[in-house]
Amino acid sequence: MSDPIIYPCFLGPYGENNDLLEKLVVEFLRDHVYWRRNLHPEDPPAIPTRAADGPAYRDFEARLRRELHSLSATLKRSVPFHSPRYLGHMVSDLLLPGLAAQILTLPYNPNNVSAEAAPVTIDLEIKVGLQLARMLGFVDDPALPNCAFGHLTSGGTVANYQGLRLALALKAFPVALRAIAPPGLAIADDDWSAFNLTPTAAITRYGQWLHWLQGQPVDQRPHWQQQLNDQRIEFLGLAKFFTQHTELKPPLVLAPVTAHYSWSKGMKLLGLGRQQLELIPERGMRMDMAALEARLDACAHQRQPVLMTVAVLGSTEFGTIDPVHRILAARAASAAAGLGFAVHVDAAWGGYLATLFRNPDGSTRPLTEVRAAFEKFPSAEVHAAYAALGAVDSVTVDPHKLGYIPFGSGAFVCRDQRAMALLAEDADYVFERETAEDYFKRFRQLGRYLPEGSKSGAAAAAVYVTHRVLPLDHDHFGALPRESIRATEAFHNAALAFAARMENRVRCQLPFEPDSNLVCLALNPVGNRQVATMNAFVRSVYAKLRVDPGMALQSREFFGSMTTLHPNTLGSIDTERILTALDLDAESLHADHADADRLVILRHTLMNPFMLDAENGISYIDRYFDYLERVIATL
């Protein structure tokens, strides 16, 4: 039985809620016009009422209508993300609260770079950061010094960049502080120790520095502040910083092989270089903890600093969840051995699944309570990973994925807002210097802390309103991922039934048990032992599932996506297991063959909440497997 809370949430697969959206858009468009007319009602209209009768006006309107009709017609070839027949990428229908709020805000065109350009929506963005912080288990009370801070980005890629920027600033700050040696302020015994403090310890050193600075004569404070700024890595640059501190090496970033390619881009952008990004092997598409612990031990012995370890909370290809709790335990052990580093969670996909684990009061729900709504979800490991989120240093989460918000709305959230001061950029022509300790006053000059300049206030309004209408707990927003996890479990069961009835024609395997709401399917014709032949077969199936701009959408019954399994990513154990299950000859997996160096498989994202249509007694998942059977029969 579908939760009735989801019925008013979307425009709907059939446009069922069009009246609601239309009323909201018209109401608030009129409200916007009234606002314009009442700013200074004594001002006469600049555009005369007779303008609409002029030939230039009519010509303009005709051109406008023609182009908009053309655009509307062309857009009909777009991907039907709204349909429960769409099982492809990480996109679905949009939540009505976010869609309406974004449309409402667009004519005001706020730029969330500073309060001067967006006095309303910049506060909404700061509040969004607090909403997400609460969902993740961080401190969300701005009256507390260790309150979290978050902001929106264009997507998860920029949020990951921000995680790297903050981690490097925190790692290098104690070294710069040690270089100026403030009298009476103990930092660390040597550069190595200073560079390998944990982020929490680095934040403590920053607080001690501020307290020490306040104790100096007023006329001496600018001198000390300038001395420190001149030693910071942000001023010196990587090359000069490491030239001055010869005891130190550029740090590594350790990420699982399932990590998004944005991490490679981020390392290049930061100037550390791709070589400093090391990919840790996986087991079952989740970070191999033995491999991580071994690499950390080696780094400690080799005096090789580590900037950050990345955990993935919902891999892009498989939705698998890394053991965040075990990574934190490994970090604690390394810190005790003198090797401190940040832990960042890339939860671009799986961040909003945290609502399933969150009570309205912000506490974590016990495993047995979460499991009561499902057959198997979550595993004990997945529950422990989500329960540990409040102890990591920073998180990436994408409202435009499982938050069902329009593109582009990513988000970056850090556990302790005090660290953000190290990213502050002064630009006097934009920002007014703020000395107040008030949380909102400080962060209203938002552009000081961001990698971006201009940014949409309408996106902030969309996310904020959505979170207010559907609070980020299991009672409210959690209804949406709950439907998607139920659909995933139904898909899993349907896949096993499909494999049983197709056993004489196709070997069907789920390479990995789903941790979230992504499920992959490997298909190999019975009797075939060649990887290239299997790949050609799956590509033929996918040809019936992909969007073809040259064909009418109605010619497609379902829409899906595909991905590949590469031996370098899988590792030898999983590669052998999957090849054996599919009855493939390992010798046919050729590293030098364009279509036989990996396995092509179907990939399904089950985020549409109407795939199990209880109202009409329809399972689009069962219909999908019936369609798959018919497609295979024609090949």
**Complete domains list, the chain, with CATH:** 11-44+62-94+477-635 (3.90.1150)
Supply the pLDDT for residue 615. 84
pLDDT (0 to 100) of residue 555: 86
Average pLDDT, the chain: 94
Give me the pLDDT at residue 482, please: 96
Residue 452 — pLDDT band, cuts 50, 70, 90? Answer: confident
- Give the separation between CA 129 and CA 123, rounded to whole angstroms: 10
pLDDT of residue 95 exceeding 60: yes
pLDDT at 303 over 70: yes
pLDDT for 313 equals 96
Amino acid letter for position 526: V
pLDDT mean over 350-370: 97
Residue 426 has pLDDT above 50, yes or no: yes
What value does the mean pLDDT take over residues 183-187? 90
> What number is the average pLDDT over the span 578-604?
91
| 116-134 tens-digit pLDDT | 899 999 999 999 999 999 9
Contacts 24+ apart (CB under 8 A), 521-524: 521/495, 521/601, 521/602, 521/603, 521/604, 522/565, 522/578, 522/581, 522/582, 522/599, 522/601, 522/602, 523/601, 523/602, 523/632, 524/582, 524/583, 524/584
- Interval 535-583: pLDDT, tens: 999 999 999 999 888 888 888 999 999 999 999 888 889 999 999 999 9
Evaluate if residue 384 carries a pLDDT over 50: yes
What pLDDT does residue 435 have? 44
Confidence of residue 434 (pLDDT cuts 50, 70, 90): very low
CA distances from 54 to 46, 63, 190 (A): 15, 14, 78
The residue behind tokens 């996106």 is 459
Strand order in the sheet with 561-565: 506-509, 518-525, 599-605, 561-565
pLDDT higher than 90, residue 213: yes
Q: What's the pLDDT score for residue 223?
A: 94
Residue 365 DSSP symbol: P
Q: Is the pLDDT of residue 92 over 70?
A: yes
Least confident of 152-166, 234-248, 427-441, 603-617: 427-441
pTM of the full predicted structure? 0.95
Per-residue pLDDT at 427 exceeds 70? no
Least confident range from 48-57, 81-90, 135-144, 587-596: namely 587-596
Closest residue by Cα to residue 308 from 387, 245, 251: 251
Give the pLDDT confidence score for residue 533 in this predicted structure: 95
Residue 437 confidence (pLDDT): 58
The Cα–Cα gap between 138 and 281 comes to: 29
Q: Report whether pLDDT(240) > 50.
A: yes
Residue 429 has pLDDT above 50, yes or no: no
Q: How confident is the model at residue 611 (pLDDT cuts 50, 70, 90)?
A: very high
pLDDT at 256: 95
With the C-alpha atoms ordered 153, 155, 156, 161, is the resulting torsion angle positive or negative? negative
pLDDT given for residue 1 in this prediction:
57
- Does 215 score more than 50 pLDDT? yes
